Amino acid sequence: MITRAPAPGIREPREEAPRRGLARRLARATRALATPLLPDDYLALVNPLWSTRALRGRIVATRPVGHATTELTILPGVGWAGHRPGQHVGVGVEIGGRRHWRTYSVTSAPGDEHLTVSVTAVPDGSVSTALARTARPGDLLTLGPATGDFAPAAGERVLAISGGSGITPVLGHLAAGAGTATGADTVVVHSGRGERVHGADLRRLAADRPRLRVHEHDTTSGRLRPEDLDDLVPDWRERTVLVCGPTGMIDDFSAHVARAGVTCLVERFRPAEPVAEGTGGRVTFAVSGIVAEADAVTSLLRAGEDAGALLPSGCRMGICHTCVGRLRSGAVRDLQTGELHTAADSDGSTDSDAVVVQTCVSAAAGDCRIDL
């Protein structure tokens, strides 16, 4: 299911660090000696983390941090360029012989040798279940670069409102020092049913950090409401508000905060409800020749994957632009805005002319052909 490393087992960070320096030197030397195409292949054979072409990561530890959530500690390969607090990373997992990409917020501090992500298994979720339930030390993953902009401006006081696994980008800020004596003054309001995801970690941090206050809310006794903020965090209007959690929570709190004229940053793990119109159509993926029948609410990406096409993807919700392809004929509808894009918008005779669509947030609006 998940690619296993040739030699599974936890690697000690101290042992790996000099090897990574050695890998970089070897890469340079091998490049000088071998044909341009091959050095990376040799290095990847010796250690998959030394590949400079495909960024890989090896899981070195797993830790339960909620009843359905597992923290994965990952040693990234030599191409890892680091991250900023609040950013997320694409994780590629092989399941049934196909690589599936999903996005996970980085919870470790920038500059750490290892990066951590916490994955909550969602019902019927193929990738989250594999990562949260069956991943183990020694497994290899494919990684994308860190992206995203879920961060307050420097020096601002912060209120972070999170639900369930939505705590993860907030943890990224805490890992980077929020709430410490020199970090941003931070209040975290975190809710969930029963024991909260990363609840024990939050309580430990709150006990240690002078400028961090954590309020946990058990939704068994009812959901937290935006009106509760006045009692919980009386000065919330003087803070930048970060919200991440279930769709309903994000919509309710961000609308309330925006009405008060307060800066509100939102991180969504799932796309908003798609705009559906029409009946869909037949989608032809030009590179593989695969043809998919797609309805008006299924993204071109999902329809193509279900039909067996290997398609590029990252966030799967219109953020990262990894999934784009040129529309050669027909029409597609943007599932976020309802806007129609037709190949006739340009004559398509040159690449710069062609309409480029994000396959993860576009659906067929009649028969169409995509250059992927």
Residues that bind ligand FES (CB under 6 A): 313-316, 318-323, 358, 360
Q: How far apart are CA 206 and CA 42, in angstroms?
A: 48
**In degrees, to the nearest 5, what angle opens at C-alpha 61 toward C-alphas 4 and 269?**
90
Residue 120 contact partner, candidates ligand FES, ligand FAD, none, CB within 5 to 8 A by sort of partner: ligand FAD
Among the residue ranges 117-125, 174-182, 337-345, 357-365, the one whose residues contact ligand FAD (CB under 6 A): 117-125
Q: How far apart are CA 226 and CA 317, in angstroms?
A: 26
The conformation of residue 21, written as its DSSP 8-state character, comes to H
68 interacts with ligand FAD by CB under 6 A: no
Among 74, 119, 174, 189, which residue interacts with ligand FAD (rule: CB under 6 A)?
A: 119
Residue 118 contact partner, candidates ligand FAD, ligand FES, none, CB within 5 to 8 A by sort of partner: ligand FAD
Residue 360 contact partner, candidates ligand FAD, ligand FES, none, CB within 5 to 8 A by sort of partner: ligand FES
C-beta closer to ligand FAD: residue 53 or 134: 134
Among 59, 72, 127, 250, which residue interacts with ligand FAD (rule: CB under 6 A)?
A: 127
**Amino acid in position 115:** L
Secondary element (H or E) of residue 16 = helix 13-33
Q: How far apart are CA 120 and CA 100, in angstroms?
A: 16
Residue 127 contact partner, candidates ligand FAD, ligand FES, none, CB within 5 to 8 A by sort of partner: ligand FAD
Beta strand 240-244 pairing with 69-76 = unpaired
Q: How far apart are CA 269 and CA 23, in angstroms?
A: 35
Over its C-alpha atoms, the chain yields an Rg (Å, rounded) of 22
As a residue count, the chain comes to 372
CB of 65 to ligand FAD, least distance (A): 11
**The tokens 């559906």 sit on which residue?**
276
CB of 279 to ligand FAD, least distance (A): 22
C-beta closer to ligand FES: residue 183 or 312: 312
Residue 180 contact partner, candidates ligand FES, ligand FAD, none, CB within 5 to 8 A by sort of partner: none
Count residues contacting ligand FAD (CB under 6 A)? 23
Q: How far apart are CA 359 and CA 70, in angstroms?
A: 30
CB of 332 to ligand FES, least distance (A): 13
At 192, phi and psi to the nearest 5?
A: 175, 165
**The tokens 């899981």 sit on which residue?**
59
Task: Provide the binding-site residues for ligand FAD, judged by CB under 6 A.
Answer: 88, 102-105, 117-120, 122, 124-129, 165, 168, 267, 269-270, 315, 317
